[in-house]
Amino acid sequence: MTTGASVPFVMDRHRVVVTGIGVVTPIGIGKDSFWEGLLAGHNGISRITQFDPSEFRSQMAGEIRDFQAEEWIDRKLARRTDRFTHFALVSANLAMKDACLDAFPFDGRRAGVIIGSGIGGMQTMEAAHAALLEKGPRSVGPLVVSRVLVNTAACVVSITHGLKGPLSAPSVACSTGANAIGDAYRILERGDADIMLTGGAEASVSPLPFASFCATRAMSTRNDAPERASRPFDKDRDGFVMGEGAGVVILERLDHALKRNAPIYAELAGYGNTADAFHLTAPEPQGDGMVRVMEEALRDAGIAASDIGYINAHGTSTILNDRTESAAVMKVFGDHAQRLKISSIKSMIGHLMGASGAVEFAATVLSVSTGRIPPTINHEQPDDSNCLLDFVTHDAESIELGAAMSQSFGFGGGNACLVVKRYDMSDDKSDNKRRT
């Protein structure tokens, strides 16, 4: 028995890297078209085509136009699953190919899936409910439940690729995708798996959720110019624009990635997760949860605030969120806040809800990998009284980038933050663990 000061717990933590990226977005399907679109400032927001929006306060969205699931996945499977699952599976397939895992023999028992969604199969739910009211209970088929469940996307990806490791599907509103990636990171970090497919998917451009979001008066009503409606941090912003899509990334333990000579985009080095415990829709006015989640992610990554060169902001284009997020960044980063580059890709693709954190993480990884920062389009008049930061606007910028941050804040007060570091191939390849 010993006495005196306690000895701090020390744990080996496996390093985790990003080796594959797959996305389905309003400006492109696949990593390359998505990234090229972001850097060029392409706009994926227009008047809704999936239903008649004439009676809605907001009438625009970031849709995946002309998407035919049968062109991407098995026709029978496409018929048996919802649109959000289609997006997830296409993204996962693209990520597997990008990581060269589609042709690499790996142990499926050591590979898992964490893919979440904020709403799940809402389009299936609406169609089934309409049939129930019109034709009675016998019109509702047995597949409705499996099409609707939030975990169906993760399960379909697991089944398709024979991934028998950890499986889950978080649902934390707008931070879902980032939370999923953070959870997968923790699994790899402690050595419980070698590979994780992780991200988020959403297909909520549908009358019921759309009407409810309209009722919150949180969405833009710039219906006469939808391409200019999403304008994060701009003085004339009037609300967010809903989008749909998915993002799935391949995370691997560094030693496993090196063993198979995998392509490595960047290292995922830190994760933070906090709650506001304040309100179901509004952010805590002082940004306490946002501040703490950024501080947690930095501490987890073992780096100083001054090491971050870029923040891929949550940046929804709502009055409250943009103001609160800006204040939180200034509090965490102090004088360094004015040297940060900040942008929000929601200006181009809209708010992908449960998929947003995953797609934005993918963009952050590509920024760190390439040294290019996508712009915040439609940012025309700085909000000098509330958003006093260096926003990348109009055109993409190049920067020497060692580390960046992607942050997501969701309804109900959920906050998630991910820190990405540039991976240097000259690193000591035997040093695949870090101590904490």
Q: Which residues are the active-site residues?
A: 174, 314, 351
- Can you say how many angstroms the Cα of residue 336 is from the centroid of all Cα atoms in its chain? 25
First to last CA, the chain: 25
- Segments of 117-208 assigned E as strands: 167-168, 195-202
Cβ–Cβ < 8 Å for 235, 382: yes
Q: What distance in Å separates the CA atoms of residue 162 and residue 151, rounded to the nearest whole number? A: 16
- If one counts every other C-beta atom within 10 angstroms of the C-beta of residue 398, the result is 9
Beta strand 266-275 with 167-168 is: unpaired
Q: What distance in Å separates the CA atoms of residue 228 and residue 237, rounded to the nearest whole number? A: 10
* The two structure tokens encoding residue 374: 């996508």
Could you tell me what percentage of the chain is helix, strand and coil, using 3-state DSSP and rounding each to the nearest 5? Answer: 40, 20, 40
Cβ–Cβ < 8 Å for 176, 115: no
Cβ–Cβ < 8 Å for 86, 160: no
3-class DSSP assignment, residue 190 = coil
Residue recorded with tokens 């996307």: 153
What are residue 197's phi and psi, to 5 degrees?
-95, 125
Is residue 355 packed enough to be buried (19+ CB in 10 Å), middle (13-18) or exposed (0-12)? Answer: buried
Q: What distance in Å separates the CA atoms of residue 245 and residue 345, rounded to the nearest whole number? A: 14
What are residue 264's phi and psi, to 5 degrees?
-120, 120
Cβ–Cβ < 8 Å for 283, 379: no
* The two structure tokens encoding residue 184: 């997968």
DSSP 402: S
Cα–Cα separations (whole angstroms), residue 122 to 24, 87, 152, 201: 18, 14, 13, 12
Q: What distance in Å separates the CA atoms of residue 245 and residue 84, rounded to the nearest whole number? A: 7
